[in-house]
């Protein structure tokens, strides 16, 4: 069987499309192409009820973390709301074509990583329906697989000078400035994820011993990191001179007026802090977020001679394979092992 590969524009997702005469059996350009046993569902409920049940299954049966459950549920909700704008999921109107079109339309406007995540969420949703007896198992294969090869891209990082410029342009004379400065330091000096920063609690800081306890959401195991003086001073300045009065134990809270004031920040809010800080600094580095600063921390450690195993432990990686990507941005070391090009003397 031959296959043709459709490629989107640079920066967009590419979706492998099997030749039409075979794949049309799934997407059904004519209604009678898709077998009734494949397109039929028994469910008939509101979108909210279906998504809620899926979320309970993810946490209770699959054992996924709450963050993963929220992301998967968001994609499934988007799919159902687009397919059923009136809010009622009419099960027998769902088909393999609906699944295929949702993923390919997502690929046309999104990045490879987010499109792959959307396809994974949709595939997990179909498996949930299969377990309930509401879906034919064959429909799982209707969700396209998105190619996203490991180590195929370089992580975006800032130079030491760029990172220093970002921090220097934060106004630490204001409460929000003190908070944002402490957040940026946690990302670029400790390599924390946005979720780690969100969950960081006053109870996680051992001031006497000078350590931080980071409860990882992905690895489900805590790791202990040294509380650097620079980071500790920024946390103290924020907690004592910038943090709103609140009973919340999470360190970083919202400063918005109204009922949200003093409530814990979200992961998207942490990303917004980073984007705002980079924009204010005036450096042109393209699209950045909280993970850019985490990548910056890891690449700087590698450049300073820290071995990969140590970096993996600090970042909370369960596998060294995840950490290997940083070897691709250590250009100085790569130049040392690069072989000369035939016929070129310099």
Taking a C-beta distance cutoff of 8 angstroms, is the pair 300, 310 a contact?
no
Selecting among 172, 178, 193, 250, the annotated active-site residue is: 193
**303 catalytic per annotation:** no
Selecting among 172, 250, 294, 295, the annotated active-site residue is: 294
**317 catalytic per annotation:** yes
Helical (H) or strand (E) element with 308: helix 308-315
Selecting among 74, 127, 218, 280, the annotated active-site residue is: 218
Selecting among 65, 132, 291, 303, the annotated active-site residue is: 291
Phi-psi region of 203 (alpha: psi -120 to 50; beta: other; left: phi over 0): alpha
Helical (H) or strand (E) element with 223: strand 222-226
Selecting among 72, 102, 128, 326, the annotated active-site residue is: 326
How far is 329 from 175, CA to CA, in rounded Å? 36
Report CA-CA distances (Å) from 81 to 48, 128, 318, 330.
10, 18, 36, 45
**193 catalytic per annotation:** yes
**153 catalytic per annotation:** no
**5 catalytic per annotation:** no
Taking a C-beta distance cutoff of 8 angstroms, is the pair 77, 89 a contact?
no
User: How far is the first Cα of the chain from the last one, in angstroms, to the nearest whole number?
Assistant: 48
Residues in the chain: 346
**179 catalytic per annotation:** no
Kindly provide the b/e burial profile for residues 96-133, where b requires at least 16 CB atoms within 10 angstroms of the residue's own CB: bbbbbebbbebbeebebebbbbbbbbbbbbbbbbeeee
Q: Which positions are annotated as active-site residues?
A: 193, 218, 291, 294, 317, 326
């Amino acid at each position: 069987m031959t296959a043709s590969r459709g490629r989107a524009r640079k920066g967009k997702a590419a979706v492998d499309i099997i030749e039409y005469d075979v794949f049309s059996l799934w997407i059904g350009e004519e209604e009678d192409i898709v077998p009734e046993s494949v397109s039929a569902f028994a469910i008939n409920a509101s979108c909210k009820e279906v998504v809620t049940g899926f979320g309970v299954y993810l946490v209770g049966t699959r054992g996924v973390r709450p963050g993963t459950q929220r992301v998967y549920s968001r994609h499934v909700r988007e799919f159902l709301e687009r397919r059923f704008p009136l809010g009622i999921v009419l099960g027998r109107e769902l088909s393999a074509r609906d699944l295929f079109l949702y993923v390919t339309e997502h690929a046309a406007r999104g990045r490879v990583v987010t499109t792959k995540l959307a396809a994974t969420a949709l595939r997990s949703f179909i498996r949930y329906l299969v377990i309930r007896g509401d879906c034919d198992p064959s429909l799982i294969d209707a969700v396209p697989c998105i190619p996203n090869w490991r180590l195929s891209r370089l992580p975006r990082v800032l130079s030491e000078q760029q990172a220093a410029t970002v921090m220097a342009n934060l106004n630490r004379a204001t409460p929000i400035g003190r908070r944002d400065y402490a957040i940026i330091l946690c990302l670029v000096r400790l390599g924390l994820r946005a979720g780690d920063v969100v969950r960081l609690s006053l109870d996680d800081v051992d001031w006497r011993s000078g350590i931080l306890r980071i409860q990882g959401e992905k690895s489900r195991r805590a790791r202990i990191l040294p509380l650097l003086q620079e980071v500790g001073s920024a946390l103290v300045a924020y907690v004592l001179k910038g943090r709103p009065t609140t009973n919340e134990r999470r360190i970083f809270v919202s400063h918005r007026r109204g009922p949200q004031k003093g409530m814990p920040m979200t992961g998207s809010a942490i990303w917004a802090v980073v984007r705002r800080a980079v924009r204010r600094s005036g450096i042109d580095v393209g699209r950045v977020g909280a993970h850019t600063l985490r990548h910056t921390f890891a690449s700087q450690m590698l450049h300073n001679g820290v071995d990969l195993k140590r970096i993996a432990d600090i970042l909370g990686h369960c596998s060294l394979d995840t950490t290997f990507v940083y070897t691709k941005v250590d250009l100085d070391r790569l130049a040392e092992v690069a072989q000369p090009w035939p016929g070129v003397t310099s």
